Amino acid sequence: MHPLLHGCLVFLILLASSAAPGAQTFRVATYNVENYLDRPTETRRVTKSPEAKARVRESIRTLKPDIIALQEIGSVSALLELRDSLKAEGLDLPHWELAGGFDTNIHVAILSRFPFVARRPHTNATFLLSGRRFRTSRGFAEVDVRINPNYTLTVITAHLKSQRPIPEADEAEMRLEEAKILRGIVDKRLAANPNANIIVLGDFNSTKDTPPIRTLLGRGSTRLIDTRPAEKNGDNAPPPNPNWDPRNITWTHHYGVEDTYSRIDYILISPGLAREWVKEETYVLAIPNWGVASDHRPLVATFHAADR
């Protein structure tokens, strides 16, 4: 090769490598894996079948997340079995966190390709309702993730109270109180750093414009942004009313009793993180026989790994 051409080639390689950190992106997903148990419990007697586990792993591998929040994970051993099985199939997410609450059967968890630099599990938060004190159903997992030497992300995952009635209190009021606690955690982080990169995600058991979601979003300069992932099926028509969302397909959960489909799983982001959000790479996974894995569908959002 001519020396001049060689020198030009070396320069281009160095230029590309120096630009790589600024161009790096990462994916964050959330997935309610529906009773991912490796042993029966008193209230959940059916363990996850091998077929369902395989479909869960296939769904996760399809998303290729760098960080994934999980809901309805059983014990630590169930989480580590999933982590190790994913690694054997080519997706290595070695760092993990698991947090529980009043419900000791299922937990929330986080798997990550990147290391954690801080862990703040919220397992004993309580609230008063009608003169009685209650503990949050599943607790919240919160970690700070070091994406690269210059970029850190706070990940908070939750699984708010289900819509199933219980005799002790109104389930909707309980869910709202849990949302208030979760929003309080977000407010504390943003008070310390208004530009903090924060992602709040999980199964909130609430549809849009309900009190829990309005509470979590907040208002004003600290209002969270709803990324509203949708299927990547080509739908791009504008809404008939500018005040409405588009009519693309965003449902994340199927409720078999009523045969209804609704969006109750969310990826919410802080104003600081919104500047790095890659909207066109944010979506709900749509694959055949998705329901073999779970009654929920996973969703993923993509971000640039540099503050903007």
Sorted by where each begins, the domain ranges of the chain are 24-304
Q: What is the pLDDT of residue 41?
A: 83
Q: Is the pLDDT of residue 27 over 60?
A: yes
Q: Is the pLDDT of residue 21 over 70?
A: no
Q: Position 85: which residue type?
A: S
Q: Is the pLDDT of residue 92 over 90?
A: yes
Q: Is the pLDDT of residue 9 over 50?
A: no
pLDDT tens-digit profile of 214-235?
999 999 999 999 999 999 999 9
Whether the pTM exceeds 0.85: the reply is: yes
Structure tokens at 83: 């982590």
CB 156 within 8 A of CB 141: yes
Question: Would you tell me which CATH number, out of the four given (3.60.10.10, 1.20.140.10, 3.90.76.10, 1.10.10.10), belongs to the domain 24-304?
Answer: 3.60.10.10
CB 25 within 8 A of CB 276: no
Q: What is the pLDDT of residue 183?
A: 98
The SS3 assignment for 172 reads: helix
Q: What is the pLDDT of residue 17?
A: 37
Q: Which of 275, 267, 198, 274 is nearest to 29 (CA)?
A: 267
Q: Is the pLDDT of residue 16 over 80?
A: no
Residues 29-37, mean pLDDT to the nearest whole number: 97
Q: What is the pLDDT of residue 107?
A: 97
CB 110 within 8 A of CB 155: yes
Structure tokens at 275: 């500047």
**Residue 148 — pLDDT band, cuts 50, 70, 90?**
very high
96: Cβ–Cβ under 8 A, 6 or more apart, which residues? 79, 80, 83, 109, 110, 111, 112
Q: What is the pLDDT of residue 42?
A: 75
Q: What is the pLDDT of residue 11?
A: 40
Percent of the chain exceeding pLDDT 90 equals: 88
